[in-house]
C-alpha cells in the first residue's frame, strides 16, 4: 500500500500512523497517508468520549470514516482505546461500582462488536499505571471503584467479543526498564501465568529531550516478548530535527526489527502540522508534507529505498 508500509511488510511488520478524521479531506494529508502507511490508528475518534458521550448511545460516524478510508486503501486498523482515565465523559465518573462495571463491559462489548473483524489490535486498557518510582496504579474511576481487577475484567470481556483481535495493554514511559515498566511487566507475567487473555503490549514511545530513546529500549521490548506477548510501538514521535532526530528514529526501528515479536510501528501523526505537540516537529513529514531526514532514516532502517 505505501512505501513505509511495503518496506515494513518485507520485514514482516506493519508501519502505521495516527489519523484524524477531520483531515482526511485535505488532499496532501490523504495522499501522504495513502502513499506511505499500511495501518492507521484513529487519534481520538475511538475514545470513550467520542463514541459514547451519553450512556448507551453510540456515535461511530467519525471512527467509521477512518476505518472506511483504511479499508478502501488496504490498510489495517488499530483500535485505540477502550478503557482509559482520560477523554472519559463525565457520566462515567459519576457511576457507583456496580453501574460502572456494567458500563465498562457494555462499552467494550458495543464498540468491539461494531468493529468486529476490522481491527488488528485493540488497546483494551491504556495508561493504568502512575509515573515515577512507585509502580502503583493510577487513580481513575475504574481503579478507584473497581480495584485492581478492572484490567483483567476488561481483557476477559474483550476476548469474549472478538476472539480474533489482538488484545493489548498500552502505556507511555514504559519504553525502558524502570519502576513503571516493571509494574506492567509483573502484570503481564501474572496474566500469562493465570490465563488472563492478553496478546500484546503497546509502547507509546513519545520521546523528547526529557524522555529520550532509552538505551535499553530493545532489551525492554525483548523481556516483554519473552513473556509470550507481541510488542508494538504504538504512538512514536521524537522531538528534534535533522540528523539527530533521524538517528533516534533509526534506533527505534532497529530495536523493533531486532525483536522477533515486535510486530509493527505506528507514528503518532502524518505531519508536524497536526502533531499533538503543537509547537514541536516530532514526525516524519514537515508541515508542508516534505519528507524529513527522519523519514529517509526510517525507510532505510526498514531496508526500503
Ligand atoms: O474535538 C474538540 C473540539 O470540538 C474542540 O473545539 C477543541 C477545543 O479544545 O478540542 C477538541 O478536542 C481535542 C482533541 O484532541 C481533538 O483535537 C482535545 O481538546 C484535545 O485534548 C485532544 O488531544 C488529544 C489527546 O490525546 C487527549 O488526551 C490529542 O489529539 C491526541 O494526540 C492525544 O493522544 C494521546 C493518546 O490517545 C494516548 N497517549 C498519549 C497521546 C498524546 O497525548
Q: How many residues does the chain have?
A: 305
Point out the ligand 1 atom lying closest to the alpha carbon of residue 276: 32
* Residue whose cell numbers read 514537515: 286
Determine the distance separating the centroid of ligand 1 and the alpha carbon of 44, expressed in angstroms. Answer: 6
Residue 248's pLDDT is 98
Are 302 and 8 spatial neighbours (Cβ–Cβ below 8 Å)?
A: yes
| Catalytic-role residue among 43, 127, 235, 239 | 235
- 175 sits in the region (left: phi over 0; alpha: psi -120 to 50; else beta) called alpha
Residue 217's pLDDT is 98
**Which residue numbers in the chain have pLDDT < 50?**
none
- Cell numbers given for 111: 464498540
- Cell numbers given for 139: 487513580
User: HEC profile for the chain?
Assistant: CCHHHHHHHHCCCEEEEEECHHHCCCHHHHHHHHHHCCEEEECCCCCHHHHCCECCECCCHHHHHHHHHHHHCCCEEEEEEEECCCCCCHHHHCCCHHHHHHHHHHHHHHHHHHCCCCCCEEEEEECCECCCCCCCECCCHHHHHHCCCHHHHHHHHHHHHCCCCEEEEEECCCCCCCHHHHHHHHHHHHHHHHCCCCCEEEECCEECCCCCCCCCHHHHHHHHHCCCCEEEEEEEEECCCHHHHHHHHHHHHHHHHHCCCEEEEEECCCEHHHCCCCCCCCCCECCCCCECHHHHHHHHHCCCC
ipTM of the complex: 0.94
Q: Is 43 a catalytic site residue? A: no
Determine the distance separating the centroid of ligand 1 and the alpha carbon of 43, expressed in angstroms. Answer: 8
83 vs 150: CA distance, rounded Å: 9
Determine the distance separating the centroid of ligand 1 and the alpha carbon of 47, expressed in angstroms. Answer: 10
Residue 1's pLDDT is 56
Are 81 and 91 spatial neighbours (Cβ–Cβ below 8 Å)?
A: no
Residue 2's pLDDT is 74
217-225 vs 179-194: helix crossing angle, rounded to 10: 20
165 vs 114: CA distance, rounded Å: 13
Indicate the top mutation candidate among 17, 24, 44 to test ligand 1's pocket, ranked by most ligand atoms within 8 A of CB.
44
Exposed, middle or buried, 48 (CB in 10 Å: 0-12/13-18/19+)? buried
Indicate the top mutation candidate among 18, 42, 43 to test ligand 1's pocket, ranked by most ligand atoms within 8 A of CB.
43
156 vs 195: CA distance, rounded Å: 10
* Residue whose cell numbers read 509515573: 131
- Cell numbers given for 144: 478507584
Output the CA–CA distances (angstroms, integers) from residue 22 to 32, 70, 89, 289, in the order listed.
15, 14, 21, 17
Q: Taking the model in full, what pTM does it have?
A: 0.97
Amino acid at each position: 500500500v505505501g512505501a513505509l508500509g511495503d518496506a515494513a511488510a518485507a520485514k514482516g511488520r506493519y508501519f502505521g500512523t495516527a489519523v484524524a478524521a477531520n483531515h482526511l479531506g485535505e488532499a496532501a494529508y490523504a495522499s501522504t497517508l495513502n502513499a506511505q502507511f499500511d495501518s492507521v490508528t484513529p487519534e481520538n475518534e475511538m475514545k470513550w468520549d467520542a463514541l459514547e458521550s451519553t450512556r448507551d448511545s453510540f456515535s461511530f460516524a467519525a471512527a467509521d470514516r477512518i476505518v472506511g478510508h483504511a479499508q478502501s486503501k488496504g490498510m489495517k486498523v488499530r483500535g485505540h482505546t477502550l478503557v482509559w482515565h482520560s477523554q472519559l465523559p463525565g457520566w462515567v465518573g459519576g457511576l457507583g461500582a456496580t453501574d460502572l462495571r456494567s458500563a465498562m463491559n457494555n462499552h467494550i462489548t458495543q464498540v468491539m462488536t461494531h468493529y468486529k473483524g476490522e481491527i488488528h489490535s485493540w488497546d483494551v486498557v491504556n495508561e493504568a499505571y502512575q509515573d515515577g518510582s512507585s509502580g502503583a496504579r493510577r487513580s481513575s474511576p475504574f481503579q478507584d471503584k473497581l480495584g485492581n481487577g478492572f484490567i483483567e475484567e476488561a481483557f476477559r470481556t474483550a476476548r469474549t467479543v472478538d476472539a480474533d483481535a489482538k488484545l493489548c495493554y498500552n502505556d507511555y514511559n514504559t519504553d525502558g526498564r524502570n519502576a513503571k515498566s516493571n509494574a506492567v511487566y509483573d502484570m503481564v507475567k501474572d496474566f500469562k501465568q493465570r490465563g488472563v487473555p492478553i496478546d500484546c503490549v503497546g509502547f507509546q514511545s513519545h520521546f523528547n529531550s526529557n524522555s529520550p530513546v532509552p538505551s535499553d529500549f530493545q532489551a525492554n521490548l525483548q523481556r516483554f516478548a519473552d513473556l509470550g506477548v507481541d510488542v508494538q510501538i504504538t504512538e512514536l514521535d521524537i522531538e528534534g530535527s535533522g540528523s539527530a532526530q533521524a538517528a533516534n528514529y533509526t534506533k527505534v526501528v532497529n530495536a523493533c526489527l531486532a525483536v522477533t515479536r515486535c510486530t509493527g510501528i505506528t507514528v503518532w501523526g502524518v505531519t508536524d502540522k497536526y502533531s499533538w505537540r503543537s509547537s514541536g516537529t516530532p514526525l516524519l513529514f514537515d508541515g508542508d508534507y516534505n519528507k524529513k531526514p527522519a523519514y529517509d532514516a526510517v525507510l532505510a532502517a526498514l531496508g526500503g529505498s
